[in-house]
Amino acid sequence: MSSMQSIIDGSGKFPKPKDQSFQYGTAGFRMKASLLDSVVYRVALLASLRSRKLNGQTIGVMITASHNPPEDNGVKLVDPMGEMLEASWETYATTLANAASDEALGEAYETLSKDLNIDLSSPARAVFARDTRASGPHLVTALLEGFNAAGVKHTDYELLTTPQLHYVTRCVNTKGTPFDYGEPTEQGYYEKTAKAFKAALGGKKVNGSLTVDCANGVGGPKLHELVKYLAPASDGGIDLRIVNDDVVRPERLNHQCGADFVKTGQRAPPASHAAPLERCCSLDGDADRLIYYFIDKESGFHLLDGDRIATLAALFVGDLARNAGLGEKLKVGVVQTAYANGGSTSYITQDLKLPVTCTNTGVKHLHHAATKFDVGVYFEANGHGTVVFSELALKRINKYDPKSPAQASALDTLKALTQLINQTVGDALSDFLLVEVILAHKAWGLHEWDLTYSDLPNRLVRVEVPDRNIFKAVDAERKLENPPGAQAQIDALVGKYRSGRSFARASGTEDAVRVYAEAATRGEADELATLVGRLVIDVASQ
Ligand code: G16
């Protein structure tokens, strides 16, 4: 049987739902899991093309819907260095996913291979993993069918966090090269992370305990594993209180917990039972986002979101580079999106005196922009982000000969950070260890961190409309180009509020429009968000 016939036959087992169109969005395909069979099968075919195009390098496939509700699922591809799929390939993903019949899929696959000059008889390889959603194992059967039909050699990593799968993908592809990223195993990830955490602490003590809300997702069991590799608090490690780590009842995933719940609702997950001043953080469903918070008896809930993590990391890395004697040689820059609080952007540009780039939402955009700096710090306000060191920066850090014990100590910490921070994508586990390292070095609690600058009160709302695709945003998603006239109406509303700013954009992961608003007071920010939300509903129904 020709391989094209196997592709058509395999597709027959996972037919495309009629009248359903698919799009590779902010983080791959994402929707109700019951609609995803054909998409996952076809993603396996895309992995075959991508791997073959890249001379048989290994492609990662992650089955997850991250922060979305339990009945959703999703799938995305990871490029060989652990980065998100190159943007130009997203249209090929969409083409395959929308081929109307099994035969049309076979043709689309063949046409793509010809157009892209791909030899279908050359080797193809993939690694894959999934989160804890109930629909995961079934979707894996579709993926395997696709791999087998297209002749892709594959390794099943079973349950992993999304960043762990990104890590493994890079490790597999760099093994035995000068860019060796580590052991391509889950254990290798824990060993590398734990070792770097210890080195980055450099004898400093983590003060007090940290409550980690795992969103009842895959981060729970994986954090329990990681803990086995970290020293206990009594021995220079960290005292963790792990909550919302129930993966036995999948319906509890992201329910009243997790980073998205905390960021959007601006309140602690009820099940965390966070006591006043307790240091708390939340991961999301696949552990690639991180949000910190604490409750103060007098002033209430305090959120330390992705903007705060970015500013803390930029401040610390900048100081370390200067103290190590590399201040002139390592240019630190920060990448944000339109959701970044205006207070954070002013702090970075005016106090830290660092450049800021603003990109579209989606880690792929931020990551790309961050690689333009020697040290690029990128975080979305929702807690998704990391710090990337360029090849040149790594060379400078690793080759530098310190001129004093103080320089040597700063340099050691900097070196350890290059190992601790996941270089492939935002990683909530390594990010919280990074935050803990910085707080330990500075002898800060969350209160001191919170005092570095003031956030403008803000509100993020989710608005459901009949067709979100009519909302077309431009200028790093800060302005609406379509529907015509909508932006002028938003501007008119914004003009009525002190320090007002607001924008609306279609979500790439949910069937909704997101509205962000900030203003001088909490009441004004809430009011502005409500008014812009109403406006979005009005223009969508015209
Ligand atoms: C994904 C992306 C993030 C993005 C988020 C929300 O996160 O990886 O970059 O910020 O979706 O995107 P949107 O506003 O377009 O729905 P996650 O954690 O859900 O994978």
Same structural domain, 410 and 423: yes
Percent of the chain with pLDDT over 70: 100
Cα of 257 vs centre of ligand 1, distance in Å, is 17
φ, ψ (nearest 5 deg) of residue 293: -165, 160
Residue where one domain finishes, among candidates 141, 159, 177: 159
Report CA(510)–ligand 1 centroid distance (Å). Answer: 9
Q: Are residues 13 and 155 in the same domain?
A: yes
Q: Is residue 167 part of a domain?
A: no
Residue of 161, 284, 360, 361 to test ligand 1 pocket, by largest number of atoms within 8 Å of CB = 361
Query: What is the tens place of the pLDDT at every residue in 280-327?
Result: 999 999 999 999 999 999 999 999 999 999 999 999 999 999 999 999
Where does a domain end: 303, 323, 339?
303
Please indicate, yes or no, whether the overall pTM of this predicted structure exceeds 0.90: yes
For residues 133 and 506, what is the distance between their CA atoms, to the nearest angstrom? 25
pLDDT at 450 over 90: yes
Question: Domain for residue 165, yes or no?
Answer: no
User: Tell me: the pLDDT tens digits for 323-363?
Assistant: 999 999 999 999 999 999 999 999 999 999 999 999 999 99
Regarding whether 441 and 463 lie in a shared domain, the answer is no
Show the DSSP H helices in 382-504 as ranges: 391-399, 405-420, 428-442, 446-450, 486-494
The CA-based diameter of the chain, rounded to the nearest angstrom, is 72
The structure tokens listed for 341 are: 């609080």
Active-site positions read 66
CB atoms within 10 A of CB 490: 23
pLDDT band at 185 (very low <50, low <70, confident <90, very high): very high
Q: In terms of domains, do 378 and 419 share one?
A: yes
**Residue 319 to residues 120, 196, 303, 443, Cα–Cα distance (Å):** 51, 19, 24, 15
- Same domain for 148 and 22? yes
Contacts of 512 (CB under 8 A, 6+ apart): 462, 463, 464, 465, 468, 506
E strands, 277-389, in order: 279-283, 290-296, 300-304, 332-337, 356-359, 375-379, 385-389
- 425 and 316, same structural domain? yes
Of all protein residues, the one whose alpha carbon is nearest to atom 14 of ligand 1 is: 507
Pocket of ligand 1 (CB under 6 A): 26-27, 66-67, 284, 288-289, 361-363, 380, 382, 384, 507-510, 514
Q: Is 450 annotated as a binding residue?
A: no
Residue 173 in any domain: the answer is no
| Domain-embedded: residue 444 | yes
Alpha helices in 116-258 (DSSP H): 136-150, 162-174, 186-201, 219-229
Of 382, 431, 511, which is best to mutate to test ligand 1, by the most ligand atoms within 8 angstroms of its C-beta?
382
Domain co-membership, 359 together with 242: no
Range of the domain at 83: 3-159
pLDDT in tens, 235-281: 889 999 999 999 999 899 999 999 999 999 999 999 888 889 999 99
180 belongs to a structural domain: no
The Cβ of residue 322 has, within 10 Å, a number of other Cβ atoms equal to: 14
Average pLDDT, integer, range 419-441: 98
Q: How many CB atoms lie within 10 A of CB 271?
A: 15
Q: Is the pLDDT confidence value at 168 over 50? A: yes
By alpha-carbon position, which residue is closest to atom 10 of ligand 1? Answer: 362
Question: In angstroms, how far is the first alpha carbon of the chain from the final one?
Answer: 54
The Å distance, Cα 89 to ligand 1 centre, comes to: 19
Residue 61 confidence (pLDDT): 98
Q: What is the pLDDT of residue 232?
A: 87
346/376 same-domain check: yes
pLDDT higher than 80, residue 1: no
* Closest residue by CA, ligand 1 atom 5: 362
Annotated ligand binding at 73? The verdict is no
Q: How far apart are CA 362 and CA 365, in angstroms?
A: 6
Q: Are strands 58-63 and 72-78 parallel, antiparallel or unpaired?
A: antiparallel
Bridge partners, residue 180, by sequence: none
For 402, the token pair is 């310190």
Q: At what angle do helices 3-13 and 136-150 cross, to 10 degrees?
A: 160
Cα dihedral: 66, 260, 384, 321 (round 10): -150
Contacts 24+ apart (CB under 8 A), 511-515: 511/464, 511/468, 512/462, 512/463, 512/464, 512/465, 512/468, 513/462, 513/463, 513/464, 513/465, 513/468, 513/471, 513/540, 514/460, 514/461, 514/462, 514/463, 515/460, 515/461, 515/462, 515/463
> How many domains does the chain contain in total?
4
Instruction: Among 450, 474, 507, give the residue marking a domain's end.
Output: 450
Given a contact cutoff of 8 angstroms between Cβ atoms, the answer to whether 133 and 64 are in contact is yes
**How many Å apart are CA 542 and CA 539, to the nearest integer?**
5
332 and 376 housed in the same domain: yes
Q: Do 339 and 284 lie in a common domain?
A: no
The CATH number that applies at residue 322 is 3.40.120.10
| Average pLDDT score over residue span 73-95 | 97
- Given a contact cutoff of 8 angstroms between Cβ atoms, the answer to whether 534 and 490 are in contact is no
Question: In one letter, which amino acid is 513?
Answer: V
C-alpha distances (whole Å) from 277 to each of 148, 184, 294, 309, 375 are 53, 39, 5, 18, 32
Q: Are residues 195 and 261 in the same domain?
A: yes
Distance 383 CA to ligand 1 centre (A): 10
Task: Kindly report the CATH number assigned to the domain that includes residue 474.
Answer: 3.30.310.50
pLDDT of residue 3: 78
Q: Calculate ∠ Cα 404-405-410, nearest 5°.
A: 100
Whether residue 273 is found in the same domain as residue 259: yes
- How far apart CA 23 and CA 90 sit, in angstroms, is 8
